[in-house]
A = this chain, B = another copy of it.
Amino acid sequence: MKAAVSESVRSLAVAAKQAAREISAASVAERNQALEAVAQELEREAGAILEAHAEDLREAQAEVTRGELARVLLERLALSPAKLDSMIAGVRAVAKLPDPIGRVLERTTLDTGLELEKVSCPLGLLAVIFEARPEAVTQISSLAVKSANAVILKPGREVARTAGALVAAMRRALRTHTAIPEALVTGIQERAEVDELLGLDDVVDLVIPRGSYALVRHVQAHTRIPLLGHSEGVCHIYVDGAADFAMALEIIDDAKTDYPAACNAVETVLVCRDIAASFLPALAERMRARGVRLRGSREAIGTLPGTSMELVAEEEWHTEYGDLILAVKVVGGLGEAIEHIARYGSAHTDAIVTEDAEAAKIFLAQVDSAGVFHNASTRFSDGYRYGFGAEVGISTSRLHARGPVGLAGLTTYKYVLRGGGQVARDYQGPAAKAFVHRRHD
């Protein structure tokens, strides 16, 4: 039985990879038309999709009643007609984005009549494993079609019927209205199939886990396929000795309370010793007013007499609270702040608040995170806010794509060389022709 499942996932993946190869010949007009066909089919099938969703929801509610599912998940998996509309609008918005494929990234004349271009091209086959979020199905699929990649989707079991109906509608749109093979968008449902999928490192080019840190860590531990995603967002704000206090309070408030569960929310505030005695009381007051519980270093607690702040244990500096909890540490200055971030941070997003341009410059250069901010909230670390139009996810990897990842993160490049019969041996030895190597920027 296991072998049969394995064979089936592999053959689905091979068919999807073949579809990826075929779509690489499609023009951007054809890919955009396919997205429009998908949007129209989703509109036509809205009833069937919402019906399938109602079944998912009934089952999930029963599980909540039986205590088998957390109530908070109900909200995440819910698909209202309005939400479906916004998902369909999202598909059309992706169609309007610039084509990420075939962009000439660099051009060099190697010699007369020997022209080298570095051209963006699709990655190939993406595998997306997500939890109970129906919108991820259309979002990732439309980004894949736009970037001429194939995608295999594995939804969480709580949205299995919803995702199945969405994928069926998208495949029908491709089959009926386009020359693009429907295998470009493929769904798989069984939990057992995930591990089979993760083993296909010879077929799948990139795996994107969307969901809890537990999911990301599971995927990381079970595959050799390159992975796009982040497992943690332990973001810091350093309040420098030359900070504008009012600005620092605004930024910390926003970064902590706007959406505490977000990966770009702040977890730790580092305060320069020079200003600790004056700044910490103001911070404590503001956080109290906003319902944020403080946890602190020994010195931070000592600086706030009569505080209810509890002591942060060493290991806790690594913690992503994802809640209205903020850790506070007094540091000697800029160098110690940078040191703390290097040791305990997750290289997601870290900010300095200061009016000292030189301190900002050092912080931005030496803090080695995907986002380094001066006098702005860590919450800006987001594909939409960066102006990418659509976001695949946020990467804290250092290779390939880093930070919020838009369509460009779903591309790679190839070198295209056009000549008139040139051979390499003419460019070596005593009578060698010389390369020109003229860059066109």
| Chain A interface residues toward B at CB < 8 A | 21, 24-25, 108, 110, 114, 116, 121, 123-124, 205-206, 224, 226, 244, 247, 250-251, 253-255, 258, 342, 360, 362, 364-366, 368-377, 379-382, 385-387, 397-400, 402-404, 412-425, 427, 435, 437, 439
Query: What are 16 A-B pairs with beta-carbon distances under 8 A?
Result: A24-B366, A116-B387, A205-B398, A226-B226, A254-B423, A372-B414, A372-B416, A373-B416, A374-B417, A375-B418, A376-B422, A380-B417, A398-B412, A399-B412, A402-B413, A403-B413
Q: Tell me whether A380 and B110 are in contact (CB under 8 A).
A: yes
- Contact partner, A244, options B362, B421, B422, Cβ 8 Å: B421
- A435→B417 CA distance, assembly (Å): 40
Q: Measured between C-beta atoms, what is the minimum distance from A142 to chain B in Å? A: 20
Q: Measured between C-beta atoms, what is the minimum distance from A422 to chain B in Å? A: 5
* Known A244-B421, A366-B25: A403·B414 in contact at CB below 8 Å: yes
Q: Tell me whether B421 and A387 are in contact (CB under 8 A).
A: no
Residues of B within 8 A of A371 (CB): 414-415, 417
Residues of B within 8 A of A382 (CB): 424
Give how many copies assemble into the complex.
Answer: 2
Q: Measured between C-beta atoms, what is the minimum distance from A156 to chain B in Å? A: 26
* Known A376-B114, A377-B424, A380-B110: A416·B364 in contact at CB below 8 Å: yes
Q: Tell me whether B385 and A435 are in contact (CB under 8 A).
A: yes
Q: Tell me whether B258 and A386 are in contact (CB under 8 A).
A: no
- Contact partner, A375, options B116, B360, B362, B421, Cβ 8 Å: B421
Given contact pairs A25-B366, A374-B418, A387-B435, enumerate 9 new A-B contacts (beta carbons under 8 Å): A24-B366, A370-B415, A371-B414, A372-B417, A373-B417, A379-B425, A380-B417, A399-B399, A399-B412
Residues of B within 8 A of A377 (CB): 422-424
- A404→B124 CA distance, assembly (Å): 20
- Contact partner, A251, options B369, B385, B402, B421, Cβ 8 Å: B421
Q: Tell me whether A385 and B423 are in contact (CB under 8 A).
A: no
Residues of B within 8 A of A427 (CB): 385
Q: Tell me whether B342 and A415 are in contact (CB under 8 A).
A: no
Q: Tell me whether A370 and B414 are in contact (CB under 8 A).
A: yes
- A372→B373 CA distance, assembly (Å): 40
- Contact partner, A258, options B376, B379, B413, B425, Cβ 8 Å: B425
Question: Which residue from chain B places its CB closest to the CB of A246 in the assembled complex?
Answer: B421
- Contact partner, A25, options B250, B342, B362, Cβ 8 Å: B362
Q: Tell me whether A387 and B417 are in contact (CB under 8 A).
A: no
Nearest 4 A-B pairs (CB), nearest first?
Answer: A376-B419, A254-B423, A379-B424, A387-B437
Q: Tell me whether A372 and B250 are in contact (CB under 8 A).
A: no
- A417→B254 CA distance, assembly (Å): 16
Residues of B within 8 A of A387 (CB): 108, 110, 116, 435, 437, 439
